[in-house]
Amino acid sequence: MTRLNEKISELRDIVKELKIDLDRAKKGKPPLKDADGKRKRNLTPEALEKKISQTNAKIEKIERDMKTKEDLKTVALGTSKINYLDPRITVAWCKRHEVPIEKIFNKSLLAKFAWAMDVDPDFRF
């Protein structure tokens, strides 16, 4: 979680720099130098706006991932899949909704439940 928080703060800093560069580009001035003292590339305002929107999308994705990670922290998702659900039900659901079985079961579970892989999509328990 701390790594994700650091990544978000880095991306927010990048957005701030891009907004400053965007303001300068709209005024016709060259961009400021970066932290290393090197000159930044002179981008058009449209390209800078696109970069800002992409960076904001990354921030939103990381925040969603953090929320999901926090919500699922106390839930052992694999245990119920292995011990309590009949694998034929899961395989039938995957076939019915065209979800790759590899997304649900890892390699060892695929080998363990090989007997359930030939079930019909309309299987009912």
**101 belongs to the catalytic site:** no
Of the listed 3, 71, 83, 84, which one is catalytic? 84
How far is it between the farthest Cα atoms of the chain?
A: 69
Beta-bridge partner residues of 39: 33
> What is the DSSP code string of the chain?
-HHHHHHHHHHHHHHHHHHHHHHHHHHTPPPPB-TTSPBPP---HHHHHHHHHHHHHHHHHHHHHHHHHHHTTT--HHHHHHHTS-HHHHHHHHHHTT--HHHHS-HHHHHHTGGGTT--TT---
Q: Which residues are catalytic?
A: 84
